[in-house]
């Protein structure tokens, strides 16, 4: 192949003429005849030839327009007709795949439809149609994937009419695996029943949702459930704030004290500790609950522990929960005991649903930019396009 023929980047073509005007016009033809696509016979003749005009990439600020001679063959063996097929050029389209991909990647990178309409001389509707076609292609490729080994599961709000949706995230590769409508066991049963590769899931990270725990136990038999550290600590703080409200409603309204109560003790300065201790000294019961809460949070923030050290820490952790059972925080102790195994597994696994919550923020921005979605499948495709892969086809 000569250098001038290789400029197009389309194999099997011979450049016949190049003309520069407002655009770069290139006339090309097939290098050789094709064998019959029906019987693979090489004895074919050209019945007729027609011209196709296609947009093909940009050279600088000029558009390269390809004028292609397309032969129509007649097979003398099977007596059937067929047209010449080219690599990178699909039938009945007015642009090559390279040009369509160029527009898609520019729009994916943030170039607006209005700007592409001026630079590539195509309509806004064409940009949207090409973008959707590549997104559908990529989503169809992703639909056959097996479940990841480390899975994060959480809910997020979709719309008032259709309610909530469930997000499945590959926590190991930081990608959204899939999004499905519903959050109850009944609404997710059909989807999870036909989900491929459920047996290879080893870890599922979730908040303290009893519904999701039953779903995980039913549909992911080989997976260990790990509680999300943020939600467990938030639960402890919420219970403590309720008890504080019961003991001192007026002090609970103090925003300065509220900020100090919520923080971990080891993050407070000496002056902040003195202020807090001066306030707690007036209420011994609340003071005891505060120090117990801080001790409990000290256990909950532990991570990456080896098995032997985790076994040594477990009796101390259980003893602290027994103390909560004998205090006004009985409801908290009951919840911690019911989720004891998933909470203790947080010591061994560092993964959390912070990745999932980050994707939820991004998905909310997608919905805002689109002024909301009515069709959930369109929303799912956009989420997978933005959050489920690296954007390169």
Q: What are the pLDDT digits (tens) for 198-218?
A: 899 999 999 999 999 999 999
Q: What is the pLDDT of residue 62?
A: 87
Class of domain 150-227+352-387: alpha beta
pTM of the prediction? 0.74
User: Which of 134-143, 269-278, 286-295 has the weakest average pLDDT?
Assistant: 134-143
Q: What are the pLDDT digits (tens) for 34-48?
A: 899 899 888 899 999
Q: Supply 134's token pair.
A: 């590549």
Q: At what angle do helices 229-247 and 284-300 cross, to 10 degrees?
A: 180
Q: What are the pLDDT digits (tens) for 168-201?
A: 999 998 999 999 999 999 999 999 998 888 899 9
pLDDT range class, residue 2, cuts 50, 70, 90: low
Q: What is the pLDDT of residue 390?
A: 60
Residue 61, pLDDT > 90, answer no
- Domains in the chain: boundaries: 1-93, 95-142, 150-227+352-387, 229-347
Q: What is the pLDDT of residue 381?
A: 84
Q: What is the pLDDT of residue 391?
A: 52
């Amino acid at each position: 192949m000569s250098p001038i023929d290789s400029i197009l980047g389309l194999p099997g073509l011979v450049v016949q003429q190049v003309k520069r005007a407002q655009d770069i016009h290139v006339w090309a033809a097939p290098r050789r005849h094709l064998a019959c696509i029906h019987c693979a016979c090489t004895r074919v003749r050209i019945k007729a030839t027609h011209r196709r005009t296609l947009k093909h990439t940009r050279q600088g600020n000029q558009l390269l327009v390809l004028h292609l001679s397309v032969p129509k063959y007649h097979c003398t063996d099977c007596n059937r007709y067929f047209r010449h097929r080219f690599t990178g050029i699909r039938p009945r389209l007015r642009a090559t795949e390279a040009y369509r991909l160029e527009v898609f990647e520019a729009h994916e990178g943030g170039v607006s439809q209005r700007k592409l309409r001026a630079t590539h001389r195509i309509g806004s509707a064409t940009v949207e149609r090409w973008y959707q076609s590549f997104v559908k292609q990529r989503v169809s490729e992703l639909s056959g994937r097996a479940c990841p080994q480390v899975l994060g599961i959480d809910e997020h709000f979709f719309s008032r009419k259709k309610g909530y949706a469930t997000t499945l995230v590959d926590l190991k590769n930081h990608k959204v695996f899939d999004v499905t409508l519903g959050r109850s066991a009944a609404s997710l049963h059909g989807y999870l029943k036909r989900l491929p590769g459920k047996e290879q899931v080893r870890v599922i990270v979730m908040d303290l949702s009893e519904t999701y725990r039953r779903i995980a136990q039913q549909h992911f038999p080989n997976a260990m459930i790990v509680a999300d550290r943020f939600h467990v600590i938030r639960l402890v703080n919420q219970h403590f704030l309720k008890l504080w409200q019961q003991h001192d409603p007026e002090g609970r309204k103090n925003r300065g004290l509220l900020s100090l109560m919520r923080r971990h003790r080891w993050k407070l300065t000496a002056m902040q500790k003195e202020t807090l201790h001066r306030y707690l000294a007036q209420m011994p019961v609340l003071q005891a609950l505060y120090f117990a809460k801080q001790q409990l949070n000290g256990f909950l923030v532990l991570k990456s522990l080896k098995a032997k050290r985790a076994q040594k820490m477990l009796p101390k952790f259980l003893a602290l929960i027994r103390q909560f059972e004998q205090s006004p925080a009985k409801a908290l102790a009951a919840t911690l005991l019911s989720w004891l195994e998933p909470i203790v597994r947080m010591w061994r696994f560092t993964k959390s649903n912070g990745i999932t919550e980050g994707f939820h923020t991004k998905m909310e921005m997608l919905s805002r930019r689109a002024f909301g979605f009515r069709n959930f499948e369109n929303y799912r495709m956009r989420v997978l396009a933005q959050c489920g892969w690296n954007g390169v086809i």
